[in-house]
Amino acid sequence: MNEITLAQSFNTCQKNKNTWLTRKNELAEAEREFQELFATGNDSDSRSLQMLRDIIDVKKWEVNRTAGCYIRAHEDMQRISIRNRLDDFMVSHGAKQAAALAPELMGYHGQHSAVKQCVMQHSVEYLREALQVWLARGEKLIIQHRTVNY
């Protein structure tokens, strides 16, 4: 299975965003046309009010569907970005992190898969708790932006 790169994920996200915005504009145009037609009371020259209502219903559905695609694509992009940054962190600081969790990770590689899963879950819980305590202290987040070429 090929792993999606951050650049690919970004492109998919942008494509989904553009599709969503296009559908929103189409919906707004159909609603504007409906309002104009309704205000004049003359539906003989253009589309009928019922036809426009049907178009608006379909456009609303399309807006919701494309918004969902955009949200999922954005979440995927965030997940890939976070995974990449955490991998960079672990390459630089993984030994220290593992040493902090050493009692839990002792003999990890020789354990049965069910035991490994349990050990990993405990380690994740300890990391989550440490992060929550760190954030609760009001520590400042330092964000280092990296330039990513697409």
pTM: 0.73
Question: Cα–Cα distance between 120 and 127 in angstroms, integer?
Answer: 11
Angle CA 10–141–105, to nearest 5:
85
Q: Which of 13, 127, 35 is nearest to 81 (CA)?
A: 13
Tens-binned pLDDT, residue by residue, of the chain (150 aa): 467 899 999 999 999 999 999 999 999 999 999 998 888 877 665 668 889 999 999 999 999 999 999 999 999 999 999 999 999 999 999 889 888 888 888 888 888 999 999 999 999 999 999 989 988 998 887 776 555 443
Domains and CATH numbers, the chain: 1-92 (1.20.58.1090), 101-150 (no CATH)
